[in-house]
Amino acid sequence: MKPDIHPDYHTVVFRDTSTGFQFLSGSTRTSDETVEWEDGNTYPLIRVEISSDSHPFYTGRQQFTQADGRVDRFNRKYGISNE
């Protein structure tokens, strides 16, 4: 790898602003805000609007507006029966 062309990769804490859920991960993002993690170390804090704790797909609150899928439409269009 070439020296001095890659961004600084370090450990940061991400906090979901809607639920308060926090997780520790690696990132190139930086922040002036810091937080003390469970291990006693202080890490930069990155605030995010959506995480796995609040995203509708992961929480099971996602609503499917399309009642039939592409396969069903294809089968209806070409007269293929599921029986």
- Mean pLDDT within 45-73: 72
Question: Is the model more confident about 34 or about 54?
Answer: 34
Residue 61 pLDDT > 80, yes or no?
no
Whole-angstrom Cα distance, residue 10 to residue 27? 6
- Mean pLDDT within 15-19: 90
pLDDT band, residue 65 (cuts 50/70/90): low
Residue 49 pLDDT > 90, yes or no?
no
CA 71, 72, 78: angle at the middle one, nearest 5?
Answer: 90
pLDDT of residue 52: 77
Q: Indicate yes or no: pTM above 0.75.
A: no
Whole-angstrom Cα distance, residue 39 to residue 29? 21
